[in-house]
């Protein structure tokens, strides 16, 4: 009898354990099914087309002449980067960058025509569609804003060349670069005295400008000190600081900085945030530069008069 009770007790415990196991098993998906589902990967094609294509993005628009301070109708040129990240049989994925604005796109690749149709999301009023043809390492085509945006943006053309982005701490502005900040003129009160001794007051607009210090100080290669910065102009330090970000491919929203770095042949905007790419020395230099920029003064002059 005692043996029978022990057998029944063992059977009950085994049954209880089995039930617990069964209950636990229902909480998970079938492992073999999940593994099968995860293993279905859409194959990528034409990886040789992956990369960054950068160049001119242009169309009709109002042009502002910095020297004459006048506006006129003409062809407005901007810099555009298209980055192709992934191509499958059904889809193309990537991003566009212009004027510091980075927008994702999705589209299709026509193998027969060797062309792309790339659609930006449409959530931004300036989103649209790129229709481009690719030939070897170059792209050409057009872009048009979506009609539903209600914004009257003219159709633009593009001519791009494939470029490999490379970080190089030695990159500097070209020594023949225009160092005038045309975007932020400031009004000054001036006095003019004629030959008869009559004095008149008038207001004139002047632009700030940088010195040749921007060709000598490299915040990506040297640890900066207060001594390096104490006699610099505010614009000098802004350029020296932003050159750090430009070397890492930062897409500047401010036209002032885009203007300076687009004068080089090495600047390729690839991202809206490159903070995690900076070295410790670069980060320390940026902190020091920001401290000095806060209290620095600019030098102004009058141009194009």
Say yes or no: 158 and 214 in one domain. Answer: no
pLDDT, tens digit, 9 for 90 and up, residues 172-207: 999 999 999 999 999 988 888 877 778 888 888 899
More confident residue, 49 or 189: 49
Query: Which of 234, 195, 243 lies closest to 216 in space, CA to CA?
Result: 243
Picking from 163, 196, 216, the residue at the C-terminal end of a domain is 163
129, β-bridge pairs: 119, 144
Check: pTM over 0.85? Answer yes or no: no
Domain of 290, CATH number, reads 1.20.58.1690
Burial 110-147 (b: 16+ CB within 10 A, else e): eeeeebbbbbbeeeeeebbbbebebeeeebebebebbe
Residue 290's domain spans which residues? 186-301
Q: Answer yes or no: is 70 within a domain.
A: yes
Does the pLDDT value for residue 243 go beyond 50?
A: yes
pLDDT, tens digit, 9 for 90 and up, residues 101-135: 999 999 999 999 999 999 999 998 889 999 999 99
pLDDT, tens digit, 9 for 90 and up, residues 1-19: 444 444 444 444 444 444 4
Say yes or no: 99 and 202 in one domain. Answer: no
Q: Answer yes or no: is 37 within a domain.
A: no
Say yes or no: 86 and 130 in one domain. Answer: yes
Q: How far apart are CA 257 and CA 34, in angstroms?
A: 50
Residue pointed to by tokens 């009950």: 12
Confidence of residue 154 (pLDDT cuts 50, 70, 90): confident
Say yes or no: 199 and 273 in one domain. Answer: yes
Query: Cα 246 to the chain's mean position, in Å?
Result: 10
Q: How far apart are CA 236 and CA 53, in angstroms?
A: 30
Query: Which of 127, 88, 128 lies closest to 108 in space, CA to CA?
Result: 88
Q: What are phi and psi of 153, to 5 degrees?
A: -110, 125
Q: How far apart are CA 128 and CA 220, in angstroms?
A: 37
Does the pLDDT value for residue 49 go beyond 90?
A: yes
Q: How far apart are CA 76 and CA 65, in angstroms?
A: 11
Q: What are phi and psi of 189, to 5 degrees?
A: -85, 125
Q: How far apart are CA 267 and CA 264, in angstroms?
A: 6
Say what the pLDDT of residue 240 is. 98
């Amino acid at each position: 009898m005692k043996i029978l009770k022990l057998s029944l007790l063992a059977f009950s415990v085994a049954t209880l354990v089995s039930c617990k196991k069964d209950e636990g098993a229902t909480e998970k998906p079938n492992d073999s099914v999940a593994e099968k589902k995860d293993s279905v990967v859409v194959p990528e094609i034409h990886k040789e087309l992956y990369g960054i294509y950068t160049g001119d993005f242009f169309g009709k628009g109002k042009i502002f002449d910095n020297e004459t301070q006048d506006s006129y109708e003409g062809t407005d040129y901007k810099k555009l980067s298209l980055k192709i990240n992934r191509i499958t049989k059904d889809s193309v994925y990537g991003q566009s960058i212009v004027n510091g604005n980075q927008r994702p796109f999705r589209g299709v690749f026509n193998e027969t025509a060797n062309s792309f149709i790339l659609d930006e999301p449409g959530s931004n009023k300036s989103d649209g569609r790129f229709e481009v043809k690719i030939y070897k390492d170059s792209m050409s085509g057009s872009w048009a804003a979506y009609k539903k945006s209600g914004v009257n943006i003219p159709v633009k053309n593009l001519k791009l060349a494939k470029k490999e982005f490379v970080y190089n701490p030695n990159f500097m502005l070209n020594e023949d670069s225009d160092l005038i900040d045309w975007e932020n003129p400031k009004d000054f009160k001036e006095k003019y005295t004629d030959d008869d001794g009559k004095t008149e007051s008038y207001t004139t607009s002047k632009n700030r400008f940088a010195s040749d210090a921007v060709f000598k100080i490299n915040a990506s290669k040297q640890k900066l000190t207060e001594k390096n910065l104490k006699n610099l102009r505010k614009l000098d330090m802004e350029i020296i600081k932003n050159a750090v970000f430009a070397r890492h491919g930062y897409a500047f929203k401010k036209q002032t900085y885009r203007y300076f770095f687009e004068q080089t042949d090495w600047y390729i905007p690839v991202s809206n945030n490159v903070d995690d790419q900076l070295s410790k020395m670069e980060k320390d230099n940026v902190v020091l530069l920001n401290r000095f920029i806060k209290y620095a003064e600019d030098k102004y002059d009058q141009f194009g008069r």
